[in-house]
Structure 1
Amino acid sequence: MYDFDKRIDRTGTNSVKWETTNPDFNGDGMLPLWVADMDFACPPAVTEALIKRATHPIYGYPMKQSDYYQALQEWIARRYGVNVEESWMTSVAGVVPGIHVAIDAFTAPADKVLIQTPVYHPFAIAIENRGRQVVRSSLIENEGQYEMDWDDLAQKLADDHVKLMILCSPHNPIGRVWTRQELERLGNLCVEHGVIVISDEIHADLVYEKGSHIPLYALSPEVANHSVTFHAASKTFNLAGLFTSYMLTTNQQLLRDFNGMASKMGNEHINLFGMEAAVAAYRHGEAWLDELLVYLHKNAVYLHEYVTNRLPEVSMNVPQATYLGWMDFRKLGLNQTELNHLIRREAKLGLNDGMGFGAEGEGFQRINFACPRALLVEAMERLEQAIHRK
């Protein structure tokens, strides 16, 4: 049994989450529940592997060893029931850097890239940073339940200038796990219109119904051939600071194009300790993850039940995946500036402003519930008191 209730002091560890000077997240007396890392110790096997490697006093340039890719293959086979080839894989320092590389590798400056909003904000930033045009297709929301807008997608994917789509699967911040039928329909649309799909599956291991996530490369050969998938151990095992992720595609031309652009951009290297940590996590961290998922789900249920029973002006559905809650404050009747003031200055909570994920996030805040329950209890009590003072 792992003790996820244990509060670990992260001050003095150079933690962005706890020690940044941004007053929106870490102002005086605020509880930071924003950036997506966890306040839990990683699996013991990871710490042991890092200590063992650290005892060798030379930390020179590493190779991308076969052991690393083999551990990924074993993990994918166990968790998703899919057999993948090492020749389909490459590595990059992070999913966001990888998306930057992919945009440059697969599009030209005049091209358009489609995203489904509200969505993880670095997608739009990456597209704009690479000099491409963002095309947004809003997800359809009905009482907190989100679906793809198929008519809108079909229309926008038919634009000859849309060459690429970035899919968030599972979706951040809404916590949806897309069904096989949805992914097949989307994939077939992209194949029909010659649009390559970048599938960000960094939260794929954090699903609450085991086996519910369908990787894009597990679909038809045609869909797989029109896509690349990014994944990492970082969210799963709380290793984000080790900057190690991988990209997988069955399409060898896309793989060559990606590797060539990564080299051109000086982005082809990954972290020595990140590889050691990933191998240890994938081979020895599964029991830890299974216990973690039970704890996270209970945290999500706690938040849902708290606002349902005590704060009817607020709602939050239990997500199907991720440790991120999408909290709806629209019944309070506040504009976004007023809502942010309530959350940050009155309740003293460092949450993510929903507008950061797109215009569809107006009236929402994103909360990171990957922390000991006691912190969530404190956070909800602060929120309740702030709302009742309003």
Structure 2
Amino acid sequence: MYDFDKRIDRTGTNSVKWETSNPDVNGEGMLPLWVADMDFACPPAVTEALIKRATHPIYGYPMKQKVYYEALQEWIQKRYGASVEQSWMTSVAGVVPGIHVAIDAFTAPEDKVLIQTPVYHPFAIAIENRGRQVVRSSLLEREGQYEMDWDDLAQKLCDERVKLMILCSPHNPVGRVWTRQELERLGSLCVENGVIVISDEIHADLVYEKGSHTPFYTLSPQIAEQSVTFHAASKTFNLAGLFTSYMLTPNTKLLKSFNQMAGKMGNEHINLFGMEAAVAAYRHGEEWLDELLVYLHGNAVYLHEFLKARIPQVTMNIPQATYLGWMDFRKLGLEPAELNRLLRQKAKLGLNDGAGFGTEGEGFQRINFACPRSLLVEAMERLEKAIHS
């Protein structure tokens, strides 16, 4: 059994989450529950592998070894029952850098790229930074449940200037796990309109119903061939600071274009220790992950039940995946500035303002519940006191 209740002091470790100087999330006395890394120790096998490699005192340029890709190949077979070829794979320092590379590789300046909002805000930033135009298709929300807007998607994907779509699967911040039927329907729309899909599946391992995630590359061959998928051990095993991720596609032309652009942009290298950690995590971290998922789900249930019983004006559905809760504060009837003052100055909670994920997120806040339960108890008691006082 792993001890996820243990509080680990992260001060003095150069932690963005705990030590960044940002008054919105890290002001004096605030509990930081924002950026998506976990306050849990990673699997022991990872630490052991890193220590073993660190004993060799030379840390020069590494090769991307076969075992590194084998470990992901084995993991995909084990967790998703899918067979992939190592020839489909390449790697970059992170999913966000990889998305930057993909945008440049698959589109031209002034082309349009579609995203489904509210969504992880670096998508829009990457599109704009690469000189492309953002096209937003709002997800439909009913009582905290989100669906794709098929009519809106069909209308926007047929724009001949829309060349690319970035899909968040599972979705951050709303926590949806898209069904195979939804993904096939979306993929068919993209194929019909010649739109390439970038599927960001960094949260794929963090699903609460085993086997519920459908990798985009397992859809029909025609759909899979018009897509690339990003995957990483970083969210799953709390390795974000090691900057190592994968991209895979069965389409050799897309893979070649991606690799060529990564080289042009200087993004072809990955972290020596990141590779060691990924191999150890995928080969020896499954038991740790299965226990983690039970704990995380318990945290989500705790938040949902606490709000329902003690602060019914605020709601949070239990997500189907991720360790990120999407809290709805709209029934409080507060203006954005008032809500932020309540949360940050009165309750002293460092959450992500939902408006940062798109205008559809106004009135929402994203909470990272990947922390010891006692920290969430403290956070909810602060919130209750701030609202009722």
SS at match of 1:299: helix
Inter-partner Cα distance in structure 1 for 2:148 and 2:335: 26
Q: CA deviation at 1:110?
A: 1.5
Q: CA deviation at 1:128?
A: 0.2
Question: Which residue in 1 is equivalent to 2:16?
Answer: 16
Q: CA deviation at 1:381?
A: 0.1
> 1:203-247: per-residue Cα shift (whole Å, max 9, x none)?
000000000000000000000000000010000000000000000
Q: CA deviation at 1:337?
A: 1.1
SS at match of 2:327: strand
Question: Which residue in 2 is equivalent to 1:168?
Answer: 168
Question: Which residue in 2 is equivalent to 1:245?
Answer: 245
Question: Which residue in 2 is equivalent to 1:287?
Answer: 287
Deviation beyond 2 Å, 4+ runs, structure 1: none
Inter-partner Cα distance in structure 1 for 2:336 and 2:113: 28
Inter-partner Cα distance in structure 2 for 1:8 and 1:258: 39
The amino acid across from 1:205 in the alignment is D
SS at match of 1:199: strand
Question: Which residue in 2 is equivalent to 1:147?
Answer: 147
Matched, 1:75 2:75: yes
Q: CA deviation at 1:162?
A: 0.1
Inter-partner Cα distance in structure 1 for 2:266 and 2:183: 33
> 1:42-93: per-residue Cα shift (whole Å, max 9, x none)?
0000000000000000000000000000000000000000000000000000
Question: Which residue in 2 is equivalent to 1:182?
Answer: 182
Pairwise mapping of residues 311-326 of structure 1 onto structure 2 (< 5 A)? 311-326=311-326
Question: Which residue in 2 is equivalent to 1:356?
Answer: 356
Inter-partner Cα distance in structure 2 for 1:200 and 1:330: 29
Name structure 2 gaps, 5 residues minimum: none
Question: Which residue in 2 is equivalent to 1:3?
Answer: 3
Inter-partner Cα distance in structure 1 for 2:199 and 2:337: 33
Under a length normalisation based on structure 1, what TM-score does the superposition of the two structures give?
A: 1.00
Inter-partner Cα distance in structure 2 for 1:214 and 1:87: 21
The amino acid across from 1:344 in the alignment is R
Under a length normalisation based on structure 2, what TM-score does the superposition of the two structures give?
A: 1.00
SS at match of 1:343: helix
SS at match of 1:108: coil
Inter-partner Cα distance in structure 2 for 1:288 and 1:92: 26
Inter-partner Cα distance in structure 1 for 2:343 and 2:79: 38
The amino acid across from 1:10 in the alignment is R
Matched, 1:381 2:381: yes
Q: CA deviation at 1:199?
A: 0.2
SS at match of 1:63: coil
Question: Which residue in 2 is equivalent to 1:308?
Answer: 308
Inter-partner Cα distance in structure 1 for 2:42 and 2:100: 28
Pairwise mapping of residues 1-390 of structure 1 onto structure 2 (< 5 A)? 1-389=1-389
SS at match of 1:208: coil
The amino acid across from 1:271 in the alignment is N
Aligned residue pairs: how many? 389
> 1:271-304: per-residue Cα shift (whole Å, max 9, x none)?
0000000000000000000000000000000000
Inter-partner Cα distance in structure 1 for 2:304 and 2:173: 15
Q: CA deviation at 1:335?
A: 1.2
> 1:82-110: per-residue Cα shift (whole Å, max 9, x none)?
00000000000000000000000000001
Name structure 1 gaps, 5 residues minimum: none
Q: CA deviation at 1:331?
A: 0.3
SS at match of 2:164: strand
Inter-partner Cα distance in structure 1 for 2:21 and 2:140: 36
Inter-partner Cα distance in structure 1 for 2:293 and 2:155: 38
Inter-partner Cα distance in structure 2 for 1:141 and 1:355: 15
The amino acid across from 1:29 in the alignment is G
Inter-partner Cα distance in structure 1 for 2:329 and 2:369: 17
Inter-partner Cα distance in structure 1 for 2:142 and 2:337: 24
What's the C-alpha RMSD, in Å, of the aligned pairs? 0.3
Inter-partner Cα distance in structure 2 for 1:85 and 1:104: 25
Inter-partner Cα distance in structure 1 for 2:225 and 2:190: 11
Inter-partner Cα distance in structure 1 for 2:337 and 2:112: 31
SS at match of 1:6: coil
The amino acid across from 1:42 in the alignment is C
Inter-partner Cα distance in structure 1 for 2:131 and 2:363: 30
Inter-partner Cα distance in structure 1 for 2:266 and 2:365: 36
Q: CA deviation at 1:187?
A: 0.2
Inter-partner Cα distance in structure 1 for 2:202 and 2:142: 26
